[in-house]
Amino acid sequence: MEQVLSMVYLWLKAGHLIFVIFWMAGLFMLPRYYVYHQEAAEDSPENALWLDRENKLRKIILLPSVVIVWVLGLALAYAGDWWTSGWFHAKLLLVVLLSAFHGWLVAYGKKLARGERTLSGKKLRLLNEVPGITIAIIVILVVVKPF
């Protein structure tokens, strides 16, 4: 029985990592898409192309990935009994913040679709760094388990 549980755990971990990679790829791409979208004229065919690209990225890559990351991550936490570990609390907080960032990006995309361009390209380029910094800290927490 223990061998079966350890194999399931490894499959959960592998799936979790795969979908974290997909989610991060989407979070790296979406702000960059928004930069290019904002540079297109509002009434141009290029504007419509960016809207379509952003919608596909959100619906085909980001939404399924974030859902699977959460489901598998919570299953791993349960299987590993990490609920009382300090590193896990820190990781969970960062994942919640990254999920909120994801939600904010989706909301900003809806603003762009309405023609509201409230951020500069420079700010969007800076926001592009948020997922990379956050995931680096998360990886350190998971691998090193400093507390």
Q: How far is CA 20 from CA 17, 39, 41, 82, 112, in A?
A: 5, 29, 34, 19, 26
Residue that the structure tokens 């350890």 belong to: 6
pLDDT tens sequence across 19-72: 999 999 999 999 999 999 999 998 899 999 999 999 999 999 999 999 999 999
Q: Which residues have C-beta within 8 Å of that of residue 72, sequence separation ≥ 6?
A: 12, 15, 16, 19
Binding-site positions: 16, 91
Up-side HSE of residue 100: CA atoms within 13 Å toward CB?
7
Over range 8-26, report the average pLDDT: 96
The pLDDT assigned to 18 comes to 98
Binding-site positions for heme: 16, 91
The pLDDT assigned to 7 comes to 80
pLDDT tens sequence across 58-114: 999 999 999 999 999 999 999 889 999 999 999 999 999 999 999 999 999 999 999
Which among 45, 50, 56, 14 has a CA at the least distance from the CA of 32? Answer: 50
Model confidence, pTM: 0.91
